Amino acid sequence: MPADLPGIIRLRDRREALTLRTILTTARRLFATHGYARTPIRLIAKEAGVAPQTIYAHFGSKAGVLAGLVDLMDEEAGLPDLMAQSQEVEEPVELLGLLAQASRQVRERCGDIVTILSSGAAVDSDIAATQAEGARRNRLGVEMIIDRIRGTGCRTHPKAADIAVALMSAEVHDSLVRDAAWSHREYETWLKHTLVAALLP
């Protein structure tokens, strides 16, 4: 095996990752502008500078591209970093603060993706399925934090995960930030205090 082959493989992996990201960011923009139903694969391919076959090879379908936006949302909102950070935190109040920060970063950095999913879920089964997957991931993250808090010996409300998911919903965020003109910082601060008051004794 040539000595430089691992470097070539890493370069190929980086190029592939860049291509995937370009496809997803292009689809994100086009879905937000034209709507999911009115954005064909060929338009995504043209705008992304790739062949339609490249999109089908990586994502399988337009629904697969949409599902990829959930992965992009996790990455852009910094959720993997916050989850890693939570492993180093033992204080229940600070763990709930990480939930509030995660909710803020999703809404602030990826609100357009949340809107694409929420506005289209009622009329398109692909969007509804993708929204459900996003909600499932969100719920798992919340349950992980609640389990960490309980693991410290701190008591929590018996329905803590249900309450946290409701407080972190897009509807609550939009009511405060979009309708009442709160800043994202104000929203995060309120959410942290509200989670603490509602979930901890």
Predicted confidence at residue 122, as pLDDT, reads 82
Predicted confidence at residue 10, as pLDDT, reads 64
Q: Which helix (H) or strand (E) holds 109?
A: helix 92-120
Predicted confidence at residue 9, as pLDDT, reads 54
Minimum mean pLDDT among 39-48, 60-69, 152-161, 192-201: which range?
A: 60-69
Q: Where are the domains of the chain?
A: 5-60, 72-199
183 contact partners, CB below 8 Å, separation of at least 6: 177
Higher pLDDT, 4 or 45: 45
Predicted confidence at residue 1, as pLDDT, reads 44
pTM of the model: 0.85
Mean pLDDT of 92-115: 96
Higher pLDDT, 26 or 124: 26
Are 82 and 101 in contact by the 8 Å Cβ rule? The answer is: yes
Contacts 24+ apart (CB under 8 A), 79-84: 79/105, 79/106, 79/141, 83/141, 83/144
Q: What is the pLDDT of residues 40-95, one digit of tens each?
A: 999 999 999 999 999 999 999 999 999 999 999 999 999 999 999 999 999 999 99
> Percent of the chain beyond pLDDT 90?
79
Residues 151 and 75: their CA atoms lie apart, in Å, by 27
Q: What is the pLDDT of residues 170-185, one digit of tens each?
A: 999 999 999 999 999 9
* pLDDT over 70 at 26, yes or no: yes
Predicted confidence at residue 24, as pLDDT, reads 96
Domain 5-60 has CATH 2.40.10.10: no
